Amino acid sequence: MKKKTSFSTKGQRADIGDLTIYRILANRYTDAVGPFVFLDHIIPKAHSSSSANSGTGAHPHRGIATLSYIIEGEDEHFDSAGNYAKVYSGGIQWMKAGNGIIHDETLNVDSQTKSNRTHAFQFWINLPSKNKAEKPAYLAIQSNEVPNKTLPNNSGWIKIIVGNYQDLKSVIPNYSEQFLYHIQLEAGKNFTIAIEEKVEVAAFLPTKNAILNGIEFQAGEFVEFDRIAGEITFENNLPEATDIILFGGEPYTEPIVAEGPFVMNSESEIADAYRDFYAGKYGKIDNKIGRV
């Protein structure tokens, strides 16, 4: 049985510095897909110099995990727990904000490949209430550490950013049932994946069109499906490979209250998050780390 489309939409511009960004989630139709409550697409861009050097500046989070997936570029991370790392094209920065942290990320061109292009995604993953009170945690995952496999009939490949797929498992912790896959489908090929009952799932087409269960969608479209168990078949009728970001998980059943950089379960917890931040309880970033 094929899953049906619930809706499709495109994002709204939310540029930062030299980066062109489309906010895909939340949108006018939904605030979440499984535990995922936020998605920004930093669209592919060639920069006129060897440096893009764009970031959000130091800012706090509580109650979520942030995940930056870098298709092209170099992402530099600092946080107030003392973590520092750079990941390069194909890599992932994952940070559990837990009970409060300050971080700063800068997306630049890739100093290893010398490419002048950037392309990335940032997700926020809502934590269950019990995990919102935990200490922060952090992982920097390089491209060669991301589980991946070739699709049947040499149709392309799948990377497991979060969750499991067949015998593959991401190193990123799961606090609820969740998955995030990057699928690349070769020209003229197709791929089918089965989704279980009640699982929330959405697909995003970052750069090119694709056919999802017989319907052609455009580059930049976010497509959410129903919650009935079934299959999604991806088809590529283009003369070149196309990419699909597929993500979702079990429904988040606790209350969701989001304000600014905080996602909690009540208005009082949001107030606590701001109070603790202004009281200095999230610590400070040492920007000398990594710059010796």
pLDDT at residue 55 in the model: 66
Which of 283, 281, 280, 285 lies closest to 84 in space, CA to CA? Answer: 285
pLDDT at residue 287 in the model: 65
pLDDT band at 292 (very low <50, low <70, confident <90, very high): very low
pLDDT band at 170 (very low <50, low <70, confident <90, very high): very high
pLDDT at 290 over 60: no
**Residues 88-103: what's their mean pLDDT?**
98
Q: Are the C-beta atoms of residues 97 and 77 closer than 8 Å to each other?
A: no
List pLDDT tens digits, range 211-241: 999 999 999 999 999 999 999 999 999 999 9
pLDDT band at 118 (very low <50, low <70, confident <90, very high): very high
pLDDT averaged over every residue in the chain: 95
Q: Which region among 104-118, 147-161, 195-209, 256-270 has the lowest average model confidence (pLDDT)?
A: 104-118
Could you report how far apart the first and last alpha carbons of the chain are, in Å? 57
CA distance 248 to 210: 19
Three-state SS for 251?
A: coil
List pLDDT tens digits, range 48-76: 765 566 667 899 999 999 999 999 999 99
The pTM (predicted TM-score) of the whole model is 0.95
pLDDT band at 16 (very low <50, low <70, confident <90, very high): confident
pLDDT at residue 114 in the model: 82
pLDDT at 135 over 80: yes
pLDDT at 116 over 80: yes
Query: For residue 145, what are its two tokens?
Result: 């550490």
So where are the chain's domains?
A: 5-278
Q: In terms of CATH, what superfamily is 5-278? A: Jelly Rolls (2.60.120.10)
Question: Do the strands 257-259 and 262-264 form a parallel or antiparallel pair, or are they unpaired?
Answer: antiparallel
